[in-house]
Structures are given as C-alpha cells and as structure tokens.
Amino acid sequence: MRFLNRLGNVFFAKLLRYVLDIPLSDSLCGTKLLAARDYQRVVAWRRQFGDFDPFGDFELLFAAAVLGLGTIDIPIRYRRRTYGSTNIRRFSQGGLLFRMALIGLLRIKTGRVAPPAVGGET
C-alpha cells in the first residue's frame, strides 16, 4: 500500500474510533458484513442521517454504532498489490471522507442523530 494511503487509513481509523467509540483498525478496508434485517435498519437510519457517503464505508460504521448492531474488528494485513492500481484519489476523495467523518463527529457525538423508530417508521 502506498505511504499516503496507509497514512490516511490510520488517520481515519483513529478518528472514527473516537467518533464511534468502537475498536477499529481500518475503516476503509471495504469488507463489511451485516444481516439483511439490519441492512433495512441502516437504510432507514440513512434517510435521517443523510445519504452522502461517497463509498458507503463510514455510513455503515456510523449506523452500526448508532443502532447498536455491534462491530468486530479483524485486522487486515496488506500485501503489495500484484495488479491494477488504487481506485481512490487521495486528496479529493480523502477530503470527502474527512467531511463525512466531521459530520459524523458533529451529529453523533452531539446526539443529533437518533435511531429511527422500530420497524423503520419515521
């Protein structure tokens, strides 16, 4: 992994660890797993929070923390890429991710986002 990408991963993991108060070593690894019934709760939550996460990683982590779905952190050991190139533009898309993290910080830490009503009713 390129140095700046690795630095960004570490930065965002530490920031989201603070925002969400969950153990997190890599928020951008791309592998997230949840039950279909929980995904429906995430969709309902996203309508309240806003649907503007460019990649979906942060909104899944935000929703899991706010809805109490639980998270398990499995450390990822990156190896040198054998083909292709990174898909993220470090600065422009990194800026979008930073904006998303700040919005999460402001809304979640201040309690401006609550879980949707049971059954996804709003």
Per residue in 24-79, pLDDT (tens digit) is 888 877 778 889 999 999 999 988 888 778 788 888 999 999 999 988 888 777 77
**Would you state the pLDDT for residue 27?**
82
Q: What is the pTM of this model?
A: 0.76
How many angstroms separate the Cα of 102 from the Cα of each of 52, 60, 121? 13, 15, 27
Counting every residue written for the chain, the total comes to 122
Q: Which residues contact 81 (CB under 8 A, 6 or more apart)?
A: 1
Asked whether the CA dihedral 63, 57, 93, 109 is positive or negative, the reply is positive
Phi/psi for 96 (5° steps) reads -65, -40
User: Does residue 89 or residue 18 have the better pLDDT?
Assistant: 18
